[in-house]
Amino acid sequence: MTETDDRVQKILEKLNPDAKRREIRELEAEMEKPEFWQNREEATRKTKQLSALQDLLTKLEKLENGRETEELVRELETRLYLSGPYDYLPAIVSIHSGQGGVEAMDWAEMLYRMYSKFAAEQGWELAEIDLEPGSEAGIKTVTFETNGNYAYGFLKYEAGVHRLVRQSPFNADHLRQTSFALVEVMPGIENAESAGEETAVKEEDLVWDFFRAGGHGGQNVNKVSSAVRLTHKPTGIVVTSQKERDQSRNREIALKILRGKLAALVAEKRHEEEMRLRGKHVTPGWGNQIRSYVLHPYHLVKDLRTDYEETDSDAVLEGHLNKFIEAELHYFART
């Protein structure tokens, strides 16, 4: 048996095409029931789940029939690491500029562009949820959703602080400048039925505030209080949603983001405990620097956890992140 044959056999054993066929048949039978679409959000979630399973099965059947390529084998080996309860869901991503004024805000916008390009490369839909522009350039914060098969699974380890070193385009002397931005990644959990017990949201734990949505320059873009601010009392998490003109839609979006934040918080605490038991230390929040992007005096993008690096920084900033994400998935599967 060749090395490739051995890799294919492991993929087929672990991903189990027969089990995937059973799951597909069960979902298809459920979708044929007259009451299936009564809960539209749950029906949409299961439709997406079915699509993801069908796509995976098509690729597994190519291996079963001996039509493997190195690219397909590598792709399916990566999928072995996407077994988390929310990995198949869309991803909600928030990017926050750090200290450093216009430099940091420009860096946050560069990261937004990078992830937008990556999503487009994967064939994922991207929908902006909320954006607060910078005072001079860039953005203070942005939240968006990438809707595609396993989007959360692929992006979840992008969470953390991203550091940029470059010559400043905002300084006449072009001095070397270091900027930081924080990336949050959450699963796009549509409703309470899709959430696990650990991420359940109780109405008595919520505080709702309503206000008028503001546009650029602070002017009101809505004459009614359509924007919402949601506070989760047990954790202190605050979520704002003002993109939609309809208040009820902004409430739905805020709840969706909150469920995602709670799920990400549970996963982070679980990971921290696992690292503690292994004698390793994980610094949360702004102290958790994961990747460095150096554009001056040389070009190097390096992941500080996996040590994977690339010298073509322009390509990385254009959204070519596959090798970094592949290295992340392999790394965290081992740790």
Residues 124-183 have pLDDT tens digits of 999 998 899 998 899 999 999 999 888 999 999 999 999 999 998 888 777 889 999 999
Residue 305 near residue 325, CB atoms below 8 Å: no
- The residue type at 309: E
3-class state of residue 92 by DSSP: strand
**Residue linked to tokens 């090798």:** 323
Residue 191 near residue 269, CB atoms below 8 Å: no
C-alpha–C-alpha distance, residues 247 and 225, integer Å: 7
pLDDT higher than threshold 60 for residue 195: no
pLDDT higher than threshold 80 for residue 16: yes
Instruction: Please state, for a pLDDT cut of 70, what percent of the chain lies above it.
Output: 91
- What is residue 78's predicted lDDT score, i.e. its pLDDT? 84
Per-residue confidence band for 216, with pLDDT thresholds at 50, 70 and 90: very low
Q: What are the tens digits of pLDDT across the range 106-124?
A: 999 999 999 999 999 999 9
Residue ranges of alpha helices (H) inside 160-298 are 247-277
Q: In whole numbers, what is the pLDDT of the chain averaged over residues? A: 88
Residues in CB range of 259: below 8 A, 6 or more apart: 189, 192, 195, 199, 201
C-alpha–C-alpha distance, residues 301 and 111, integer Å: 13
- What is residue 224's predicted lDDT score, i.e. its pLDDT? 63
CA angle, 102 then 161 then 109, to 5°: 40
Q: What are the tens digits of pLDDT across the range 222-279?
A: 556 788 999 999 999 999 888 888 888 999 999 999 999 999 888 888 877 776 766 7
- What is residue 220's predicted lDDT score, i.e. its pLDDT? 45
Strands of the chain, DSSP E: 91-97, 125-133, 139-147, 160-167, 176-187, 206-211, 227-232, 237-241, 289-294, 300-303, 309-310
CA–CA distances in Å: residue 55 to residues 17, 67, 150: 12, 16, 11
Per-residue confidence band for 197, with pLDDT thresholds at 50, 70 and 90: low
pLDDT higher than threshold 70 for residue 281: no
- Mean pLDDT for the stretch of residues 71-91: 87
Q: What are the tens digits of pLDDT across the range 298-328?
A: 999 999 999 999 999 999 999 999 999 999 9
| Residue 154, H or E segment | helix 151-155
- Mean pLDDT for the stretch of residues 33-54: 86
